Structures are given as C-alpha cells and as structure tokens.
Amino acid sequence: MKIHNFGAGPCILPQEVFKQAADGVLDLNGIGMSILEISHRSQDFDIIIKRAQSLVKELLGVPEGYSVLFLQGGASLQFSMIPMNFLPENGKAAYLDTGVWSYKAMKEAKLFGNPFAVASSKDKNYNYIPQNFEVPEDVAYFHITTNNTIYGTEIFEDYDVNVPLIADMSSDIFSRKIDVSKYDLIFAGAQKNMGPAGATLVIIKDEFLEKRARVIPTMLDYKTHVDKDSLFNTPPVFSIYVSMLNLEWLKAQGGVEAIEKKNIEKANLLYKTIEEHPLFTPNVAEDSHSRMNVTFTAINEDVEQRFLKACQENGIVAIKGHRDAGGFRASLYNALPLSSVKVLVEVMKGIQ
C-alpha cells in the first residue's frame, strides 16, 4: 500500500532525495567513505556546505550583506539566542503572539529583557492572524512566526516596520516567495521543507550583528558562526548534506516560485473540500489559512472515528491534529504530491 504522509514534522521529503541520501551513507560520490564518517574539514564536505549555502541564497533571492548559517539546537534554541544577542537588559522587544511557538519564544526573551505582544490571537484559540497592530519604534526587534503548525495559520505579508524584523519560518520556508531584504534575521528548523532534523537554518543581515547587546558565550554568539562560516565546531553534517540534496531537488522543480503554485493548488483543493463537506469544519478564519498545515474538525465523534478508519485503510498517516488543537491536521509540505491530497479528498468525500 502506498503511504500518504501528512505528518507535521519530521516530514516527507522527495523519494529521490531519500535514495541519494542512502547512497551517500554507503559511499559519498564514489570516494569510498560515508557522509557519516568524512571530516567536516574535508574538501568533500566543504563542497557540500558551500553548495547548500549557495542554494539557499539562490532559491530565496538572498541579497548581498547577509550570511547563511547552519546551526544546531533546533528553532527552539533560537528563541533564547536571539534575545541573548540582541535584546539589551531592560530593553523591549515586540512579538506577534500567534501560537505556541511565538509564545515560547516570548517566554525565553523574558530571561534577557522585556518582551511584549503587540497583538495576540489567543482569545480565539489562535485561529486567526491579528491585523491592524502597531509596532513601537523603541523596541530592539519585532519577532513573528510566519506559519503556525499547530493551529494552521500563516502570515503571507513581509511586514514593513521601522525596527529589525525577525521571523521564525520553520514550517513554511522555501514554500513561497519572500522578500528577504525586509528581514534582519530568519530562522527555520530543517525538518519541514528543507531536510532532516538536526540543522537549523539562519539567514542574518551582517549589519544586524553589530547590535549585539551583551557579552555572549562563544557558541551562542551569531558572530562566532558567521566568522567561522558555520564550522566553529562539528556541524550537523548529515542534515546539511540531505538539505543540500533537497534544495537541489527544489531547484530542479523550478524553484520556490514553481513550488508555490503547486502548494496553492494542493491547499485550495483541500480547503474547498472541507468547506463544502457537511461533516467537516475548518478550524481557521479564511483570511488566515495556512497552505502548509490545514486544520479541521469533524462534527462529532462518530464521524471522526469513521474518518480515521478510512484514512488507515487508504494509507493516509499522521492526519490527527496536535494535542493542543485536536481534530485533524494535514501538512502539505513541498514534497507531498498532489496525488496524495486527492486521495485524502476522496476519502473525505466517502464519509457520509
């Protein structure tokens, strides 16, 4: 039975990438050694990391004056690294509270300064993106989470603000076009649209580095990693390698612009089915729909159980919603084919 993986992460990657990665584990490019055993100081890995950085810049249109880093610790470490580097003691930082991850980021920032929410959608269980908020000009930075994997909302606007803009793009990076020049720092865990868990992508404006607010432990200082080109210590070699392979795949698909069109098609098909089906209800306000994580609920327990059984029978996995949101969640990351969405839609239509 073909498996249709709607998991939120670690998530589906293209089958050809899995095969290339498997070959690299056995013998990297015919050198007689595995990607798992080569030195991170070797010429073979230097080619890999430089190619990965180059692909990030090419696919996202990263302008001059930015550095591309591959760090460890997941996006969650960035929640504390960012204020440690850029939030002065007793300084203020603005956050847009749109879900669990933005809330956790704000909580970490409290250890270093005075973060606050300029707006929040917590009043309606994070089912919308706040609008018409103001960002004060006396803050160290403004932090947003562009896609909320748990609740299924997404920000498509590159905000114009007069302060440094920082974005957690862990679950929608490389899924749509963005204007990198609007941001001072972008970060993303690899395990959604980029590669396997283990690496965290950071795109940082070099000028922003000069705003470091305090003396920082060496490993937690962004400048350390910029100066050493992500090689201050042993990086997550395998994750970077597979990320490079996946970015090569994305380029071969036509890049971010082409994959965005496919992602729109997948999301529109599923949302249309949910909205027209009398037994299912979308969780999120229409103007805040995420293309990456579509969340919805059944009208009662009987429908929910029948739907889950039908999913199991048709090879649909990881469709249950996050424990904090309940219901269902279909994650439509780049590598998920339209054919899998069509299978899910047909299963939903069969529930009467």
DSSP code of residue 181: G
What is the per-residue pLDDT across 109-139, written as a single tens digit (0 to 9) for each?
A: 999 999 999 999 999 999 999 999 999 999 9
The residue to which tokens 């979308």 are assigned: 282
Domains of the chain: 15-252 (3.40.640.10), 256-349 (3.90.1150.10)
Question: Does 101 participate in catalysis according to the annotation?
Answer: yes
- Contact (Cβ atoms closer than 8 angstroms) between residue 66 and residue 181: no
Question: What is the residue-wise DSSP string for 257-270?
Answer: HHHHHHHHHHHHHH
Question: Does 50 participate in catalysis according to the annotation?
Answer: no
Active-site residue, selected from the candidate residues 97, 172, 184, 192: 192
Active-site residue, selected from the candidate residues 97, 101, 205, 266: 101
DSSP code of residue 131: -
Rg over alpha carbons for the chain, rounded to the nearest Å, is 21
The residue to which tokens 């299924």 are assigned: 152
- How far apart (Å, rounded) are the C-alpha atoms in residues 239 and 199? 6
- Contact (Cβ atoms closer than 8 angstroms) between residue 127 and residue 121: yes
Residue 323 is predicted with a pLDDT of 87
What is the per-residue pLDDT across 238-279, written as a single tens digit (0 to 9) for each?
A: 999 999 999 999 999 999 999 999 999 999 999 999 999 999
Residue 308's Cβ-count burial label (10 Å; 0-12, 13-18, 19+) is middle
What is the per-residue pLDDT across 12-35, written as a single tens digit (0 to 9) for each?
A: 999 999 999 999 999 999 999 999
Residues 6+ apart with CB under 8 A from 337: none
Q: Where are the beta strands (DSSP E) in 13-123?
A: 66-71, 92-97, 114-120
- How far apart (Å, rounded) are the C-alpha atoms in residues 8 and 329? 8
- Band (pLDDT 50/70/90 cuts) for residue 1 is confident
